[in-house]
Structure 1
Amino acid sequence: MMSVGTPLLWSLFAAFVVVALLIDFFAMNKQGAHKVSMKEATIWSLIWVGVSFVFVGFLWWYMGGTGTDASAKQLADTKALEFVTGYVVEKALAVDNIFVFLMLFTYFAVPAEYQKRALMIGILVALVLRGALILVGAWLIAQFHWILYLFGAFLVFTGIKMWLAAGDEPDLEANPALKWVRKHFTIAPNFDGEKFFTKVNGLKMATPMLVVVILIGIIDVVFAVDSIPAIFAITTDPFIILTSNVFAILGLRAMYFLLAGLHEKFHLLPYGLALVLVFIGSKMLLIDIYKIPIEWSLGGTAAILTVTMLLSVMIKPKSDAVHGAFPFDSKKEKDPED
């Protein structure tokens, strides 16, 4: 599979991500456990978005975007646009993660000052697992072109399913991942700071913090099953796919704190995300008949999300439920004895 990722670009990207994470961890440890304010979340969100566009700007320049070679300039423009489109799509689909994270923190009553570390560690796990999924997906497509049709059909099906599930309140109690964690760990009744393990009456137990971190990683990977095929409809270049995914996820923690208090205002957003999945899935199904230009993909995605958010502001929600299709799609009713 052709890729613009040279050894130098891969090395620079890896070094950049490591440095960015170290800076983020250093800043988090220096601040200590604290409740993230809207101002802090806004600043970090802008920083991560800015860093992402600095990276794509460097990539465009490195590939000859400012040169006189017409073919090199065209390739640089195309790859930069693919990155931006992939970044926007992944960022948009990550919004549904945020609604589920909000439900998760509410369910476990995670103190506001501990949420930042839980998200940071959970997202680190998700980055590693996403990277593995992307590499496997790229290899499959390189070997079996028809996989694209399977991905496209899956995205259309998932989009329809998400549309039908939008507005339903997720049932975390019946979630299989939570059941698995409870089966394999003895969980302490209370938090012990930011520790993952504690002792209760001399017995070592996992704290609710460990459960939350594990579930964050699992939830993100399950969502990645939807979002990663979506970006393969935009580009099949492993370097563009991985970099746009990583940059979108790196800013997820800051975006959570920015949007967590606004989830009710954008209550129709799950419908918009469902339409985005159907649109991108349809694009993938038509790839050998008509290749929809990247500009249309970016414009269509932006238009759907903009209209959905505007309608969310104009139309009041019918309930106070936390909206968003939970990835495990558990609709079982709770036991009356619970």
Structure 2
Amino acid sequence: MLDVPFWLWSVFAVTVVVSLAVDLLAHREAHVIRFKEAAAWSAVWIGLALVFGAVVFLVLGTAPGVEYTTAWLLEKSLSVDNLFVFALIFAYFEVPRAYQHRVLFFGVMGALVFRGLFLAAGVAVVSRFTAVLFVFAVILFYSTYKILKGEEESFDPGRSIAVRLLRKVVPVQDEYAGMKFFVREAGKRVATPLLAVVAAIEAADLVFAVDSVPAVLAVSDDAFIVYTSNAFAILGLRALYFLLAGLLDRFHYLSKGLALILAFIGVKLILQASHELFSSSIPEIPSPISLAVIVTVLAASVVLSIRHPGPAGTAAPADRDEDSSAHGSAGEQPPIRETRSRDRRRKDD
């Protein structure tokens, strides 16, 4: 484990808290996030992550710096898959574009907490039971298979455990009420669909953690490296979503590239575990090679997608009904008809 000075942990914590506060203040009013704004915020988050990476290089050394950069880029690339699910959730609940940033903001806060818990547990397990790396490799290989077969697209937001539990705990009305999560209805406190969307986003992140946690632990088993890299990748997830909204379908080779990355990381885990458990003569894949492979696969996926466009598809869900979703905080929003009809069908069952 790295000997990380307390002040570096403090710098990281203050940076994350200040970043969230600035982001919340900058988007306290409901509005549609345009491409230029998303590009500017993406540059801020990427720059912040790279500056922190430079600090890691200077303070902890070259090897930890490479591990941080590799883990950050790996998590950043895997998060692209999250964007497709976010678009699916927003379409399912008919979330107005003006409210989507607020949903993702709270989703990021939850992800920072849950990823921290999962990564801490993962580091503790790996440090005591090296053989668990074989299990992680199997998980990554299975995820690769699902992506190549297209099975990851079967996610149903309305049937996620988080959304179903929410509906059992508190009534959820059909109409949006601005950016409010709760309103008074007939003297009772009820949730708005916006809270259900946050629950669906959190449930989706828990699913994605099954892939990302084993993957990042293949890069490093140090708690500081794995959590800080994950945190900075997650912080830029909102801006990345709005930056790529409407363009996701154009990068149709990207999912195949992500599958190759997961398979590569799975092989890395097997070699790492075999090296530690069976023989030191079994080679390991060093972090610089992992970084090079990730960069190469991502670049190739983007270039192939541009040079060989797929079939023309429909607009991304985030781009639909832009005019009708750009209202401020008014509550006259369309009801979530699909959600309501599915709920009725479940009740009838």
- Calculate the TM-score normalised by the size of structure 1: 0.86
Q: 1:66: which partner in 2?
A: none
The whole-number CA distance in structure 2 between the counterparts of 1:219 and 1:24 is 22
Task: Tell which deviates more after alignment, 33-42 or 184-193.
Answer: 184-193
1:47 maps to amino acid: V
Unaligned runs of 5+ in 1: 64-75, 324-333
2:20 maps to amino acid: L
2:215 pairs, out of 221, 226, 230, with 230
Compute the displacement of 1:308 (Å): 1.6
1:187 maps to amino acid: V
Task: Tell which deviates more after alignment, 119-128 or 149-158.
Answer: 149-158
Does residue 293 (structure 1) correspond to residue 322 (structure 2)? The answer is no
Q: 2:254: which partner in 1?
A: 269
Q: 2:309: which partner in 1?
A: 316
Would you say the 8 A contact 1:153–1:285 is kept in 2?
A: no
Cα deviation, 1:154-193, whole Å, max 9, x if unaligned, reads 1112111221126856444454444443344321111001
Would you say the 8 A contact 1:269–1:309 is kept in 2?
A: yes
The count of corresponding residues between Structure 1 and Structure 2 is: 312
The whole-number CA distance in structure 1 between the counterparts of 2:109 and 2:157 is 23
Would you say the 8 A contact 2:147–2:255 is kept in 1?
A: yes
The whole-number CA distance in structure 1 between the counterparts of 2:159 and 2:184 is 27
Q: 1:10: which partner in 2?
A: 9
Q: 1:67: which partner in 2?
A: none
Q: 2:133: which partner in 1?
A: 148
1:26 maps to amino acid: L
Q: 1:23: which partner in 2?
A: 22
Give the RMSD, CA atoms, in angstroms. Answer: 2.2
The whole-number CA distance in structure 2 between the counterparts of 1:163 and 1:7 is 43
1:100 maps to amino acid: V
Aligned in 2, Cα 1:218/1:4: closer, same or farther, shift over 3 Å?
farther
The whole-number CA distance in structure 1 between the counterparts of 2:3 and 2:55 is 13
The whole-number CA distance in structure 2 between the counterparts of 1:168 and 1:217 is 17
Q: 1:55: which partner in 2?
A: 52
The whole-number CA distance in structure 1 between the counterparts of 2:178 and 2:153 is 33
The whole-number CA distance in structure 2 between the counterparts of 1:136 and 1:234 is 16
Q: 2:36: which partner in 1?
A: 39
Cα deviation, 1:209-245, whole Å, max 9, x if unaligned, reads 0001111112112201210110111111111101100
Compute the displacement of 1:313 (Å): 2.1
Would you say the 8 A contact 1:187–1:207 is kept in 2?
A: yes
Compute the displacement of 1:319 (Å): 6.7
**Matched-pair identity in %:** 40
Cα deviation, 1:228-282, whole Å, max 9, x if unaligned, reads 1101111111111011000000110111100122111112211111111111011
Would you say the 8 A contact 2:158–2:200 is kept in 1?
A: no
The whole-number CA distance in structure 2 between the counterparts of 1:166 and 1:310 is 25
1:310 maps to amino acid: V
Aligned in 2, Cα 1:155/1:258: closer, same or farther, shift over 3 Å?
same
Does residue 88 (structure 1) correspond to residue 87 (structure 2)? The answer is no
